[in-house]
Amino acid sequence: MAMQAEAKPLIERYGLQNIEGFFGEVPTELYRGIIAGKELCIVTLGRQHGVDLVGCEAATLATTLAINMLHPDMIINAGTCGAFKANGSEIGDVYLSEGPVMFHDRRIGDDPLGIQSLGNYPTYDAHQMAADLRLKLGKCTTGSSLDCLDEDLAIIKREGGMLKDMEAGAVAFVASVYKTPLICVKSVTDLIDGGEKTIDEFRRNLSMASNALRDACTKIIQYLFVDQPTLF
């Protein structure tokens, strides 16, 4: 998870303990607990210069360290996102990732097939889980900005992107390198085609969307730890 505001409701839900200094001088933070006999770790990106880190650089660092130091059976990249009302999305909707995670703001001239620029790193097939838990499915698309340039929008539309965030692509890249299964869980804070300035809508809905994220993640953890314990 990226920001503390996104992770706090879930950390409190399970009473997870902050393991201070676990990642040494790196700002990445670890919260840990035992749920139904299994270990649940929440890793957040931490803070630098007095603000919460967001984005691909910190997500790459955190995911690499988490995989190497915690050896997870699976990764859940849980966070908030922008979505499109044209796709029927509403504020507070929670989605599971469908298909590969792409990047929408990497324009590399000599990459005719888009392999390097889009990335398209795999995720675990969450169709059954989404049906069982009544969660929506959508393709995650990642960039380094909260706002959306026309060039980005054209790529998102062309490739069928539905959930725009700032970390999933980086987490999915690292998970693919280490062959660790990944599911993204994304809660909608803002509608990119809704007409409002994204940062204002994001700030207004962050707390509500983070509570919706907690509720969905609680269902997913129950599903993976208790109801379907042989999946991973």
User: Which of the residues 113 through 142 are near ligand ADE (CB under 6 A)?
Assistant: none
What residues contact residue 143 under an 8 Å CB cut-off, 6+ apart? 103, 104, 105, 152, 164, 166
Q: Does 104 bind ligand ADE (CB under 6 A)?
A: no
DSSP conformation letters of 144-211: S-SS--HHHHHHHHHHT--EEESSHHHHHHHHHHTT--EEEEEEEEEETTSSS-HHHHHHHHHHHHHH
Q: CB-wise, 82 or 138, nearer to ligand ADE?
A: 82
**Residue 142 φ then ψ, to 5°:** -120, 145
Size of the site for ligand ADE (CB under 6 A): 12
Select 82 or 169, whichever has its Cβ closest to ligand ADE.
Answer: 82
Contact with ligand ADE (CB under 6 A) among 178, 202, 223, 225? 202
CA distances from 22 to 29, 37, 71 (A): 7, 22, 14
Q: Which is nearer to ligand ADE, 45 or 224 (CB)?
A: 45
Among 66-74, 115-123, 159-167, 224-232, the segment contacting ligand ADE (CB under 6 A): 159-167
Q: Is 190 one of the catalytic residues?
A: yes
Q: Minimum distance between the CB of residue 82 and ligand ADE, rounded to whole angstroms?
A: 2
Q: Could you say which residues in the range 61-80 bind ligand ADE, by CB under 6 A?
A: 80
Residue whose C-beta lies closest to ligand ADE:
82
Task: Please calculate the CA angle 128-160-73 and round it to the nearest 5 degrees.
Answer: 40
- Per CB under 6 A, 189 contacts ligand ADE: yes
Nearest to 196 by CA among 91, 94, 103: 91
Please say if 200 is a catalytic residue.
Answer: no
User: What single DSSP character describes residue 87?
Assistant: G
Q: Would you tell me which residues interact with ligand ADE (CB under 6 A)? A: 80-82, 146, 164-166, 189-190, 192, 198, 202
Q: Which residues are catalytic?
A: 6, 190
